[in-house]
Amino acid sequence: MPLSQGRKILAIPGPSVIPDRVLNAMHRASPNIYEGEIVSEVEGMIPDLRAVARTEHEVAIYICNGHGAWEASLRNVVKPGDRILAIQTGRFGTNWGVLASQMGVDVQKLDFGMQSPADANKLEEVLRADTEGKIKAVTTVQVDTATSVKNDVAELKNAIVAAGHDALFMVDCIASLGCDRYEMDAWGADVTVAACQKGLMTPPGLGFVYFNDKAKSFRKHAVPGQYWDWVPRAEPEIFYQYFGGTPPVSHLYGLREALDMLVHEEGIENVWSRHEALAGAYWAALDAWGSKGSMKHNIADRAFRTVAVSTIETAEDDAQKIRDWCEKEAGVTLGIGIGFGTPSSAEARRRFRIGHMGHNNIPMMMGVAGAIDAAMKALGIEHGEGALEAASRALAASVNRNA
């Protein structure tokens, strides 16, 4: 007898749960796109988009997913034949590099495997060895959504400065914006790439590229093409009116509502703290489960974990069994293991991910943890007891701490 009726919970790392308020805001007829409300609404979003990334610099909005934003960012700063250094800490930094190679960019890789953050000393060493200054840009993810590792963006920037290198520093925050603390200007990122469907709680379809003055100076040497050019997109008179074509009106209404919730109602500092508290509760549950049997977090050191998603390793294909059980019996969808071999490989089947990015609260977190706990009991998978008790205690402690 499945117990999966009732509201389903999507606990995958993007698209994330879209708040009803955002969905309702999108449920409107298209407006006059040439003047009036929509124009001023887009203008009003720019300061809020700056606030979530902690920057004073420019942001271009594209109608695309994260892959489009990756391409947009590269097209404005490099051209075929230029070299970039792609930091890899899982799957996404790797794939950004693959996309660059397909544009004819010469991609030098710096790989840190599937269980560790990037090592800033190693980055400094590689940049020091580039005595001719061939490397035009360093790309990294803040958070890799496959491994759930979080890189120390400020430390990586310090390594570029310490090496005395001129490379542009480009950071993918697609998984982490609106989840993990991010300070574009204070930490020295020149370009930040993001999308709307993870921490920003809006259906997939909007990509964002933030760029500072140094990045703007690189634009002169690139040939972005009409659609990807960030110059007109950052010019209010040109762009707010034409959007490089028809504006994505419904998405803009949704994003407006989501930014109200994040920036004006909850406040970005509180958004980050809420993510920390909910992720911390999952990790407390995981520590309890893992006290017997094989379950463990892919990233051993909590300091290097993102609060947006957790990648969990199990024995053999227990991960797949847990996911299937949660889907069929509990109405909870968990994320598949990605980046560790092909989707059907043994390495993938032993991993699952819990997306805890965006619109989440205690009942959602406890509901997902409860479903996983019941799954292991029903399936006879060995695990430590007391996970929900541990999660509850962790939640109570963070609420008290933040009171």
Ligand X SMILES: *Cc1c(COP(=O)(O)O)cnc(C)c1O
Cα 310 to Cα 170: distance, rounded to the nearest angstrom: 24
Stretch that binds ligand X, among 139-147, 183-191, 255-263, 338-346 (CB under 6 A): 139-147
Nearer to ligand X, 31 or 204 (CB): 204
Q: Is position 67 an interface residue for ligand X (rule: CB under 6 A)?
A: yes
Q: Is position 10 an interface residue for ligand X (rule: CB under 6 A)?
A: no
Neighbouring C-beta atoms of residue 7, cutoff 10 Å: 7
CB of 19 to ligand X, least distance (A): 19
Task: Give the list of residues 6+ apart from residue 57 with CB closer than 8 angstroms, or none.
Answer: 50, 184, 185, 210, 211, 212, 213
CB-based contact 9:332 (threshold 8 Å): yes
User: Token match 């071999």: residue?
Assistant: 341
CB of 236 to ligand X, least distance (A): 26
Window 147-186: contact mask with ligand X (x via CB under 6 A): -------------------------x-xx-----------
Nearer to ligand X, 350 or 353 (CB): 353
Stretch that binds ligand X, among 2-10, 76-84, 141-149, 385-393 (CB under 6 A): 141-149
CB-based contact 189:98 (threshold 8 Å): no
Using DSSP's 3-state secondary structure scheme, residue 347 falls into: helix
CB-based contact 24:30 (threshold 8 Å): no
Q: Is position 92 an interface residue for ligand X (rule: CB under 6 A)?
A: yes
CB of 262 to ligand X, least distance (A): 18
Q: Is position 55 an interface residue for ligand X (rule: CB under 6 A)?
A: no
CB-based contact 359:18 (threshold 8 Å): yes
CB of 254 to ligand X, least distance (A): 15
Nearer to ligand X, 170 or 285 (CB): 170
CB of 90 to ligand X, least distance (A): 8
Cα 300 to Cα 212: distance, rounded to the nearest angstrom: 35
Q: Which of 139, 145, 212, 398 binds ligand X (CB under 6 A)?
A: 145
CB-based contact 250:256 (threshold 8 Å): no
Q: Which of 77, 120, 127, 141 binds ligand X (CB under 6 A)?
A: 141
CA nearest to 139, candidates 54, 77, 198, 58: 77
Residue 337 is given by DSSP the state P
Nearer to ligand X, 171 or 395 (CB): 171
CB-based contact 356:365 (threshold 8 Å): yes
Q: Is position 202 an interface residue for ligand X (rule: CB under 6 A)?
A: no
CB of 218 to ligand X, least distance (A): 21
CB of 39 to ligand X, least distance (A): 26
Q: Which of 12, 66, 200, 289 binds ligand X (CB under 6 A)?
A: 66
Query: Can you read off the two tokens belonging to residue 213?
Result: 């003055």
Q: Which of 9, 14, 192, 297 binds ligand X (CB under 6 A)?
A: 14
Q: Which of 16, 65, 192, 310 binds ligand X (CB under 6 A)?
A: 65
CA end-to-end distance (rounded Å), the chain: 42
Distances in Å between the Cα of 145 and the Cα atoms of 14, 53, 151, 276 are 9, 18, 12, 16
Residues near ligand X (CB under 6 A): 14, 65-67, 92, 141, 143, 145, 172, 174-175, 195, 204
